[in-house]
Structure 1
Amino acid sequence: MTNKKVILVHGWGGNPKNAWFPWLKTELEKLGDEVIVPAMPNSSEPDVSFWVEYLSGISNSIDENTYFVGHSIGCLTIIKYLESLSKNVKIGGVIFVAGFFTLQNLKTDEELEIAKPWLNLKIDFERVKNHTINFFALFSDNDPDVPIENVKFFEEKLGARVLIQNGKGHFSEDDGVFEIPIVLEELSKG
C-alpha cells in the first residue's frame, strides 16, 4: 500500500499545535504517512486569498495519494484551493471537521468583518468535485459557531458523507477534543 501525503489546515486563531492536530500527525506518521501541518499566516485575522495562496505554496506535487484535513475556516481554505487547481489534478480526498458556509455567534464587529469575506465566497462546486469524489464532513450537535444546517450544504454541494457527533463543540481544545479517532479511521480507508 502506498503511503499518503496528508495536509492538515487549522482554523481561525489556530496553529499546528492546537487540539487534535499533534495527535493526528503522530498517528499518521506511525503509519508511514507524510504529514504537513502548516502554520497558516496571521491566523487571528485570516484572509481568504492569503490562506489559499499559502496553501498553494506548500501543496506542490499533489496526486491521488494526497489527502487534506481541514478544521473550521481551514475547510473553506481547502475548498477554494481545490477550486484553483487545474482540471487534470486528482487527489485522494478531503475531511472537513466543523466546516461551514454559515456561522453563528460572531461576537464583535471585528469578528464579523473577518468572517464576511469567507461567508460570501463564490464557489464553483463542480470544479471542486472534479478533483475528488471523496469528501467526508464531521460535525458536532452542539457546535457554538457552526449551525447544524451546514450539514446539508456539505451533502448537497459536495456530495460529502456526513457524521454528526454528540457533544464535541467546535472540536477545539476549549471543548476538550484532543483526539478524533473517526478522522484517522477515514484516512485509513483511503
Structure 2
Amino acid sequence: MSRNAIIFHGTGGHPDAIWYPWLADRLAERGYRVERPHYPGINVDPIAELLPTVLEGHTFDTDTVLVGHSGGAALLLALLEHLQTPVAQAILVAGYATVVNGSEEPVLQPSYDWDRIRAAVDDLYFINSADDPYGCDATQGRLMFDRLGGTQIVRNDGHFGDHDQPYPSFDLVNRLIR
C-alpha cells in the first residue's frame, strides 16, 4: 500500500509555515508520501480557475489523505466534489463553507453537492475553534458537519496558526490520520 497525504495551506499562507512541515515530517516517518504544494491563488483566484490546476497537479486515490487549513480547507470542499475516485480521509482545519466576516471568498463555490462530497471521502473531520478570529469557527464546522456527517471537533485554539499565532505542531491532526 502506498499511502499519500497532501497538506493544503490557507489563504496567503505557505507550505513551510506553522504546523505544516511538522505534520509532513510525522507522516513521512509513518511511511506516507507527503506533498505540501504552494498555491498562492487559494482564495485569490476564483475556485473555477484554481480547481483544475489542483486536480491535475496531484494523484488522488483510496489511500490519499487530504488536510486543509482555512482557505485550504474550503478548497477541499470543491476538490472532494470533483474527484473521480474517493479518498481515505479529509481533515478540514478552520474550514468554512459560507462567506465569513463579510469578506470576499473566491475559494468558495456558489453551491455544493453535499451528497457527492460525502461519497468522495471515507473518513471526514472538521476541526474548528469557538474563538477563531476570522469566523472559521465552530458554527462553520457545524454547518459542514450537518450536511456531511463525519466528526466535528471544537477547540479554543484561535485559527490554529497564523502570522500572529505561532502553532509549530498539531498533534491532534497527526493522531487522527490513520
State the TM-score, normalizing by the size of structure 1.
Answer: 0.84
Q: Secondary structure, in 3 states, of the residue corresponding to 2:17?
A: coil
Offset at residue 136 of structure 1 (A) = 0.5
Offset at residue 165 of structure 1 (A) = 1.4
Provide closer, same or farther for how the CA distance between residues 93 and 149 of structure 1 changes in structure 2, counting only shifts above 3 A.
same
Structure with greater helix share of residues: 1
Offset at residue 128 of structure 1 (A) = 1.0
Q: Which moved more, 1:25-34 or 1:47-56?
A: 47-56
State the TM-score, normalizing by the size of structure 2.
Answer: 0.89
Q: Does residue 131 of structure 2 align to residue 132 of structure 1? A: no
The structure 1 residue matched to 2:65, chosen from 42, 64, 67, is 67
The structure 1 residue matched to 2:141, chosen from 151, 174, 190, is 151
- Spell out the pairing of 1:179-190 with structure 2 (5 A cutoff): 179-187=169-177, 189=178
Residue 6 of structure 1 corresponds to 5
Once the two structures are aligned, what percentage of the paired residues are identical?
A: 27
- Spell out the pairing of 1:157-168 with structure 2 (5 A cutoff): 157-166=147-156, 168=157
Provide closer, same or farther for how the CA distance between residues 23 and 130 of structure 1 changes in structure 2, counting only shifts above 3 A.
same
Residue segments in structure 2 that go unaligned for 5+ positions in a row: none
- Spell out the pairing of 1:1-190 with structure 2 (5 A cutoff): 2-43=1-42, 45-60=44-59, 62-86=60-84, 89-105=85-101, 112-113=103-104, 115=105, 117-119=106-108, 121-145=110-134, 146-166=136-156, 168-173=157-162, 174-187=164-177, 189=178
Letter of the structure 2 residue corresponding to residue 102 of structure 1: T
Provide closer, same or farther for how the CA distance between residues 3 and 126 of structure 1 changes in structure 2, counting only shifts above 3 A.
same
Provide closer, same or farther for how the CA distance between residues 82 and 44 of structure 1 changes in structure 2, counting only shifts above 3 A.
closer
How far apart are the structure 1 equivalents of 2:22 and 2:58? Answer: 21
How far apart are the structure 1 equivalents of 2:147 and 2:92? Answer: 13
Provide closer, same or farther for how the CA distance between residues 32 and 150 of structure 1 changes in structure 2, counting only shifts above 3 A.
same
Offset at residue 46 of structure 1 (A) = 4.0
Offset at residue 163 of structure 1 (A) = 0.8
Superimposed CA distance per residue, residues 146-169 of structure 1 (whole angstroms, 9 cap, x where no aligned partner): 243112212111102011112x11
Provide closer, same or farther for how the CA distance between residues 120 and 47 of structure 1 changes in structure 2, counting only shifts above 3 A.
closer
Superimposed CA distance per residue, residues 67-125 of structure 1 (whole angstroms, 9 cap, x where no aligned partner): 10001111121111121123xx121010000001235445xxxxx34x1x445521101
Residue segments in structure 1 that go unaligned for 5+ positions in a row: 107-111
Provide closer, same or farther for how the CA distance between residues 125 and 23 of structure 1 changes in structure 2, counting only shifts above 3 A.
same
- Preserved CA contact (<8 Å) 1:96 1:136: yes
Provide closer, same or farther for how the CA distance between residues 13 and 31 of structure 1 changes in structure 2, counting only shifts above 3 A.
same
Offset at residue 44 of structure 1 (A) = 7.1
How far apart are the structure 2 equivalents of 1:76 and 1:141? Answer: 18
Letter of the structure 2 residue corresponding to residue 180 of structure 1: F
